[in-house]
Structure 1
Amino acid sequence: MTQVHTARFAIGQIVRHRDNAFRGVVMDVDHGYAGPAVETGAVAADQPFYRVFALGEDGGFVAYAAEGVLEDGQSVLLPDDAQRWFTTDAEGHHAPLHEGIH
């Protein structure tokens, strides 16, 4: 029997990697690992995984991360980053400028 996990983070929510590798906005959620058939190492493949539009020093990039390495990042998105990279809806959810909020 397959166990179904409930995603902790919502599309449009700001998250950060627990090791401070990046911060960004959730763009999509997979209920389990949906990448190529490779060993995921110490990260369990049977947890939700997130596609995150992340902010780096040279601009934005898309990261694919397990729920177990992400934390709520609401307090770390700087106002300049928000205006430069994202649109924001009335509920405070963010989306990359060229992507709609689902």
Structure 2
Amino acid sequence: MTQIRTARFAIGQTVRHRDDAFKGVVMDVDQAYAGPAVDLGLLHADQPFYRVFALGDDGGFIAYAAESSLEAGGLALDPGEIARWFATDDQGHHAPLDAGLH
């Protein structure tokens, strides 16, 4: 019997990496690892993986992160970061400016 996992984070939700590698907004969710064949180390491939529009010192980039590596909340985007990188809907969900909100 296959176990179906429910993603803990929603598209448009702000998250941060547990090791403070980045903070950003969830753009897409894979039910399990769907990247290239690589050694994931201690990460389990059968957990949700997220594409996150992340903010770094040099601007935005796309990160692919395991659910176990991410945390919700604790992320305070300052108004300048929000205006520069994201469109925001009435419910506080964010999307990259060039992607638009769904």
TM tier, smaller:
over 0.9
Aligned to 2:82: 82
Q: Deviations over 1:27-62 (max 9, x none)?
A: 000010000122211011100000000001111000
Any gaps of 5 or more consecutive residues in structure 2?
A: none
Aligned to 1:65: 65
Listed as ranges, the matches of 1:3-82 within 5 Å are 3-73=3-73, 75-82=75-82
Counterpart contact for 2:23–2:75, Cα < 8 Å? no
- C-alpha distance in 2 between matches for 1:13 and 1:29: 12
Give the Å deviation of 1:88. Answer: 0.1
Give the Å deviation of 1:75. Answer: 3.5
Any gaps of 5 or more consecutive residues in structure 1?
A: none
Two-structure CA RMSD over aligned residues (Å): 1.1
Counterpart contact for 1:18–1:71, Cα < 8 Å? yes
- For normalisation by structure 2, the TM-score amounts to 0.94
Task: Count matched residues.
Answer: 102
After TM superposition, the structure 1 stretch with the greater mean CA deviation from structure 2, 75-84 or 61-70, is: 75-84
Runs of 4+ in 1 over 4 A off after TM superposition: none
